[in-house]
């Protein structure tokens, strides 16, 4: 028996996810009656609203898959002269995806902070950090991040990657990004080759 398409998208909490997307018309009108995130995603893609489709993916993918997707998008537009802080933020985010360790999650945030929270790589790392049980320093009372914060960071990462260096490439990049996100939602790796100069 085959698995349903976009099986990894979280669908049960769609009514909670929708307001977090801050969609405007016409996108909001198109998805207001969608039964779940998968239906909303397909509606937006069919309408050519790829920025909004990217937001749906950022919030509706499971947190690890969402952070991985941000990393893949960042790698696609990564410049040759990426700063060391950004490189370390990206590597820490990817390492967290594979290992899920709290120490790695906290390292990701430290690298994002060093990078000045100003790049797709830094925001992918913040997404990893906001995926954990607590934002408090080690040894202090736990303060859980709000459930939507990972999606917020990933959305920011992906949209920054879409305009990095050459904003005119944004539409084509978002089309690639959404295709990769859909592949991840289907259980695939979602890798995107580096962009040609």
Whole-number Å distance between alpha carbons of 36 and 10: 8
Could you tell me if residue 102 is inside a domain?
A: yes
- The two structure tokens encoding residue 99: 């290992």
Q: Say how many C-beta atoms besides its own lie within 10 A of residue 139's C-beta.
A: 5
The whole domain housing 127 covers 64-74+82-162
Q: Say how many C-beta atoms besides its own lie within 10 A of residue 36's C-beta.
A: 17
Whole-number Å distance between alpha carbons of 177 and 139: 38
Report pLDDT for 4: 60
pLDDT in tens, 59-80: 999 999 999 999 999 999 999 9
Report pLDDT for 1: 47
Could you tell me if residue 109 is inside a domain?
A: yes
Whole-number Å distance between alpha carbons of 121 and 115: 9
Query: Which of the four pLDDT bands, split at 50, 70 and 90, describes residue 175?
Result: very high
Contact between 95 and 104 under an 8 Å Cβ cutoff? The reply is yes
- The two structure tokens encoding residue 187: 């259980």
Q: Which pairs count as long-range contacts for 79-88, CB under 8 Å and 24+ apart, including other chains?
A: 79/164, 79/165, 82/121, 83/115, 83/119, 85/111, 85/114, 85/115, 85/116, 85/122, 86/115, 86/119, 86/121, 86/122, 87/121, 88/114, 88/115
Could you tell me if residue 23 is inside a domain?
A: no
Could you tell me if residue 152 is inside a domain?
A: yes
Determine what percent of the chain is predicted with pLDDT higher than 70.
Answer: 97
* pTM of the full structure: 0.95
Task: State how many domains the chain has.
Answer: 1
Could you give the 3-state DSSP secondary structure of residue 68?
Answer: helix
Mean pLDDT for all residues in the chain: 94
- For tokens 């040759």, name the residue: 80
Whole-number Å distance between alpha carbons of 88 and 102: 16
């Amino acid at each position: 028996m085959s698995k349903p398409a976009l099986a990894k998208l979280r669908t049960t909490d769609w009514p909670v996810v929708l307001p977090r997307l801050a969609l405007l018309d016409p996108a909001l009108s198109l998805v207001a009656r969608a039964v779940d995130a998968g239906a909303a995603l397909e509606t937006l893609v069919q309408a050519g609203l790829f920025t909004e489709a990217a937001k749906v993916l950022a919030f509706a993918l499971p947190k690890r898959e969402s952070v991985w997707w941000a990393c893949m998008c960042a790698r696609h537009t990564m410049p040759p002269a990426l700063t060391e802080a950004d490189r370390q933020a990206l590597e820490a985010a990817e390492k967290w995806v594979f290992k899920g360790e709290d120490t790695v999650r906290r390292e990701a945030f430290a690298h994002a902070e060093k990078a000045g929270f100003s790049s797709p790589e830094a925001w992918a790392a913040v997404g990893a950090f906001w995926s954990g049980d607590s934002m408090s320093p080690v040894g202090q009372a736990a303060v859980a991040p709000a459930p939507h914060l990972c999606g917020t960071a990933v959305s920011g990462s992906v949209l920054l990657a879409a305009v990095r260096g050459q904003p005119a490439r944004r539409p084509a990049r978002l089309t690639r990004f959404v295709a990769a996100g859909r592949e991840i939602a289907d259980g695939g790796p979602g890798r995107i080759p580096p962009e040609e100069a």
